[in-house]
Amino acid sequence: MILTADYHTHTPFSHGKNTVAENAFAAKEKGLKELGIADHGFAHMAFGIRRKDLAKLKEEAAVAEKEYGVRVLVGVEANLLGLNGKTDLKESDYPNFDFFLCGYHLLVKTATASDFFSMLVRNSLKMKPNDSVVKRNTKTYINAIKNNPIDAITHLSYRFPCDAIEVAKCAADYGTYIELNSKKTHLTDEELMEMTAKTSVRFLINSDAHAASRVGDKRIVEEQLARLSFPTERIDNVEGRLPAFRFQAYKLRQGL
């Protein structure tokens, strides 16, 4: 399987080690057509990107694109903030970004105190999640997909257990991808096969690279998929294919 693009890489604008240019050079070496910079969203208290740095980030992306001949897109890995599906990417931020990823992270400023307890505290406790936690997490993902033009959910269910099949159904309806993250295995074999059998959801493979050496890495995803005879035609950033992102379509419709 040959990766066409990697949409989930970090830089020092959030929690990454290497610059935009270094990630772009690595993408070129790996033969990628497109590279996505997706730094952590604004509400991440430790590593969130700052709005005042966006102009610099975009400038660096434009320079790197010219230098290395790889298309460099500026996106964000927004944070889930609450049960109502709120994220930390506001509509007023949309013109500054090319694509919109979203995932669950700790250390974020949640929407409400109740979200803080339910999303951060209950999911952080080292005990088996009970049904009510899983139900609430599932609803949080679903509301986020319904209420925001999210291109892909990153590391679905990682530290935030959910009913992955229900989330995949909703993602398929709204044209949101489910990411297969090659930094950490986050979906079980059973979940992956059930998602492909019971829903029409589509997937992206992303590295979640925090260093240029990992840009374009897909090793652990490939190992899991090979074990499962996974239908790789459901993945839209391999074998020369490029995904259709709903965020771009939304921006066009809204004139943003």
Length of the chain counted residue by residue: 256
Decide whether 98 or 255 has the Cβ nearer to Zn ion: 98
Stated as kind and residue range, the H or E segment containing 141 is: helix 131-147
The DSSP code for 37 is E
Stated as kind and residue range, the H or E segment containing 161 is: none
Which residues between 9 and 68 bind Zn ion (CB under 5 A)?
none
Which residues between 138 and 197 bind Zn ion (CB under 5 A)?
154
Nearest CA among 208, 217, 245, 209 for reference residue 100: 245
- HSE-CB for 123 with a 13 A CA cutoff: 23
Q: Which stretch binds Zn ion (CB under 5 A): 57-65, 97-105, 107-115, 172-180?
A: 97-105
Decide whether 15 or 256 has the Cβ nearer to Zn ion: 15
In angstroms, give the least distance from the CB of 8 to Zn ion: 6
Q: CB–CB of 246/176 below 8 Å?
A: yes
Decide whether 66 or 219 has the Cβ nearer to Zn ion: 219
Span between the terminal Cα atoms of the chain, in Å: 35
Residue 216's region, left for phi above 0, alpha for psi from -120 to 50, else beta, is left
Identified binder of Zn ion from the candidate list 98, 115, 208, 217, rule CB under 5 A: 208
Decide whether 30 or 232 has the Cβ nearer to Zn ion: 30
Residue 115 found at the interface with Zn ion (CB under 5 A): no
Q: Which stretch binds Zn ion (CB under 5 A): 69-77, 112-120, 145-153, 231-239?
A: 69-77
Decide whether 48 or 82 has the Cβ nearer to Zn ion: 48
Identified binder of Zn ion from the candidate list 16, 75, 85, 103, rule CB under 5 A: 103
CA 255 – CA 121 distance, rounded (Å): 39
Which stretches of the chain bind Zn ion, using CB under 5 A? 77, 103, 154, 208
